[in-house]
Structure 1
């Protein structure tokens, strides 16, 4: 064997096996020559690249940054592989054909295109495939998406490439490694030297089904189902909410909500959005856009929204959950009195925890946040007062425990898209009137539920209602006193709320008149007549309703106004008449019967749900009273039957407190 001649400059001999070429030159397939004892070869010096040799321990111990050192060590081939052909992972390298020399231990090829067009190439030392995942985690601090044992929280997993496609995939991956933006990722595992196995190629695949998100909250899952049921009308439902609901009971800033919905809907509370959809379903048939399509099952959507609310209330309560609860409690139809009471109590507790009961105007916070806090408090106040009246329970909020100022046009104009519209200003004034009327109602409730001796007088209550009427101006005054301008959104609801509060005051006065030291029979009859006239105003109001009024905004607790009026009218008829025939012909009973008839007509023709409670409670009793005075088979009448012989047990069975309407709120 001939001795290899050294070059004149004493450098490294070409193709010397005693000192192999540096790793960069092996990858470039270029001649590696060094000048004297220089640490950098001539080619690396010309290319201005790092120069290191297989087995060089000084490379990993250099003082360069850890990130660069780790990347270079990862890319260094195994010392045992120095005599074999290098792994062809550099850009433009020839494809691997599966005929690697036996002394090659293991290598990996991974190419992943990024937005910067960078290339990632890896080569692993001689380790068994089972330890690759652990080494990847150890070297890089976290597990790579290309690891064989990838964690469950990663979106991608490795899948083996069939033997028939291994070479094809490797050629394509090698080519894509030199193209910026390429996204194909592969990894090759080469067997042990003594093994006769063929190399195995892995590629990245999606681990989970398409559309399945990781770590979604329970409320987000319910929201996703609701949105799938409403598609493709989700935005139309939101439009209907802001057109009919938010202008009458403002909870959301329309401008900011729509911007957030378009930019990143996931940042909106799932419970809030779910309750918004469920709340607006009741307006589907009256919407000129939505009524052309089939309405989803509202009860199923409400159940999903309820589950979302309870989940978020338990896991992540905050400002959004208060708004979600108000939309939930204010939804129609009302089917769960206890559930609504529990949610409303939770909302009041949360509001106190977040300081919504304090006046935020002096605070150094953004102006929109001040107005938003006050809007939520006003809506909470309205629901608390009227729910207390409907459910027969004391209100949660006490007047002495908050100092939030009453609403004004200035406070409510923030976030309105059509604030310059005169009708928009009138809708705002209707809401202001509803809030101030709720404050008057609170005085009535304090009188009803007060157990001490320091009650207000009925005269004070009457003056409070009269002073409220005197503060009204323009269309709002005509809406309340005459029932005009009902085409304005929220006007019919305000008119019914006023009549309900007025009827409650008259019943309070009637009870006070009857419990006095000296009962004035004439005064008692006058109280009966006044309350009956108010009930007749309620009848005339619902008789004047047109389809557009029935599809307008309504507080769900308004549905309790009708059974309260019918209940009182039946009481008046029973206490003032002496025979069943006289009972059926009494003015009070006729008004009650007409209310039932009108509500049944609205239910059958327009599916108006606000009359359902009254029909369920009183329709049968009115029919039985009429049947008791119907002519017999001989054409005669049962007029000789005395009232004490009339079976009134049905009244006691259905309404155990019918003789004491103030035992509960009604």
Structure 2
């Protein structure tokens, strides 16, 4: 079987044989992986087929060579897509596969007898909000053909599940295995599989790695994300499969995996301050709809989580438009030009939220108990904050004016983020969170501290109080619930906030000029990744 579900077998006079099943995407390739061929060569192949093939060229499914296939959209303007099989690497492939399998065995021995519980926990906590797998297909393959599944994929699935150990009724009374050891085994398994022929299972392993918490290795995450995008382009995931000769489940799977990559690419760009890898002009994959993810039957929780996921995809597109302004190297656009576009994108997204319950949760911050809603609320506020700060940084007249409209708007969004954090309960803290959203907490806190430093009197005190509330609340969550999303903000802001409070309180008590000498050499930009 192949990792690439769109690869067809060698054609016969009667047509192309059926493509492999969706299960192949979580297994290791037996023959090799399908790789996109240059568009120029694909065009040449169309000419050859017209003259050499026994079938009419309008069918767009026959092949003239072994292990290659051309897939063509029904649209006359669509560029044909040709794939070629990259063969496996012989003995090196066998040895690397064996090494990856050994890491999976070691991890499962560490987790025994809770392996199946962790699978259940993954689908209850992660997959419901971030639908990587078709649960029924995964469980069937795991039960009947586990030895053919990617060891790296399974290791990373286990690693993700350990984050939610405390929320499992069966597991929370047992000591949780050390997460660091689990992630080391997962990364070693991935390194071993990288020496094999890569497939879509490799991309899924990377997505699971990026989902992993706690997340701290920014450079490593960025490198893996770049590799995943490169592989996705190689496997044609950036192209619309709607008219391909594949099963509906395969088409839905390819679309879903592509958009999971887009989500991580765009939100990583916001969090890490690096331009996105994926560009609109180089992909034409339609966004998934809720019906394609849910299937025929679903619980109310799953329906709510799917609505959140579809809304997150749409919000990711809004953020992508915002980041085009952030990373534009030409002369900055004026504030007048910037404001209508970005604001209107966000307003359209707000109006597109499918249910009243979701609108109340995301826009007002009420009833954040449905799976994924708290994460979506924080993501929404982070986009609002980015837009406010973009306008502020492009308007030189108000940048240093603490009472300007743009500054006030940005402070209000930061206040909303602080209030969101305050209102989280144990259920929300144990819910699914994209690790990249932790940077929104840091951005809000740094902006509040910056405002306090540049202001006097009535503005300074509320900003300092909000920043202190954020840090105190996050420290409590980390101690009481081991909430790793708090770590980035605490590590980057706690000490500097103590110093700012000390100086500001002294100035309020004794009329004197504010002494900021202790901030000399301190790099705010290094911790404020949302600077535009």
d(CA) in 1 for partners of 2:144 and 2:399? 69
Q: Is the 8 A contact 1:275 1:324 kept in 2?
A: yes
Give the counterpart of 2:314 among 436, 439, 458.
Answer: 436
Residue 653 (structure 1) shift: 2.0
d(CA) in 2 for partners of 1:508 and 1:484? 27
Larger radius of gyration: 1
| Pairwise CA RMSD | 2.3
Structure 1 spans left out of the alignment, 5+ residues = 1-212
Give the counterpart of 1:647 among 494, 508, 517.
Answer: 517
Give the counterpart of 1:546 among 411, 419, 425.
Answer: 425
2:493 corresponds to 1:618: yes
| CA 1:637–1:253: 2 relative to 1, 3 Å | closer
d(CA) in 2 for partners of 1:451 and 1:485? 41
d(CA) in 1 for partners of 2:412 and 2:371? 26
Q: Is the 8 A contact 2:97 2:196 kept in 1?
A: no
Alignment correspondent of 1:555: 434
d(CA) in 2 for partners of 1:288 and 1:533? 39
Alignment of 1:505-544 (within 5 A): 505-514=387-396, 525-544=404-423
Greater RCO (Cα-Cα under 8 Å, separation 6 or more): 2
Alignment correspondent of 1:608: 483
Residue 453 (structure 1) shift: 4.5
| CA 1:657–1:282: 2 relative to 1, 3 Å | closer
Residue 637 (structure 1) shift: 7.4
d(CA) in 1 for partners of 2:184 and 2:292? 35
Alignment correspondent of 1:158: none
Q: Secondary structure at the match of 1:304?
A: helix
Residue 626 (structure 1) shift: 2.4
d(CA) in 2 for partners of 1:330 and 1:356? 20
Residue 546 (structure 1) shift: 0.7
Alignment correspondent of 2:305: 427
| TM-score with structure 1 setting the length | 0.62
Give the counterpart of 1:464 among 345, 350, 355.
Answer: 345
Q: Is the 8 A contact 2:155 2:189 kept in 1?
A: yes
Alignment correspondent of 1:308: 189
Residue 308 (structure 1) shift: 1.3
| CA 1:534–1:314: 2 relative to 1, 3 Å | same
Alignment correspondent of 1:224: 105
Give the counterpart of 2:247 among 352, 366, 389.
Answer: 366
d(CA) in 1 for partners of 2:455 and 2:95? 69
Q: Is the 8 A contact 1:507 1:531 kept in 2?
A: yes
Q: Is the 8 A contact 1:510 1:524 kept in 2?
A: no
Q: Is the 8 A contact 2:129 2:372 kept in 1?
A: yes
Q: Secondary structure at the match of 1:382?
A: helix
2:454 corresponds to 1:575: yes
| CA 1:234–1:338: 2 relative to 1, 3 Å | same
1:310-368: per-residue Cα shift (whole Å, max 9, x none)?
22123221000100000001110012101100000000000000011111111110111
Q: Specify which structure has the higher proportion of helix.
A: 2
Alignment correspondent of 1:52: none
Q: Is the 8 A contact 1:584 1:629 kept in 2?
A: no
Structure 2 spans left out of the alignment, 5+ residues = 1-93
Residue 655 (structure 1) shift: 2.3
2:115 corresponds to 1:234: yes
d(CA) in 1 for partners of 2:225 and 2:526? 25
Q: Secondary structure at the match of 1:285?
A: helix
d(CA) in 2 for partners of 1:316 and 1:230? 28
Q: Is the 8 A contact 1:629 1:639 kept in 2?
A: no
Q: Secondary structure at the match of 1:640?
A: coil
d(CA) in 2 for partners of 1:389 and 1:596? 22
1:598-654: per-residue Cα shift (whole Å, max 9, x none)?
1111111111110111101111111122233557xxxx97523311x233426x425
Aligned length in residues: 435
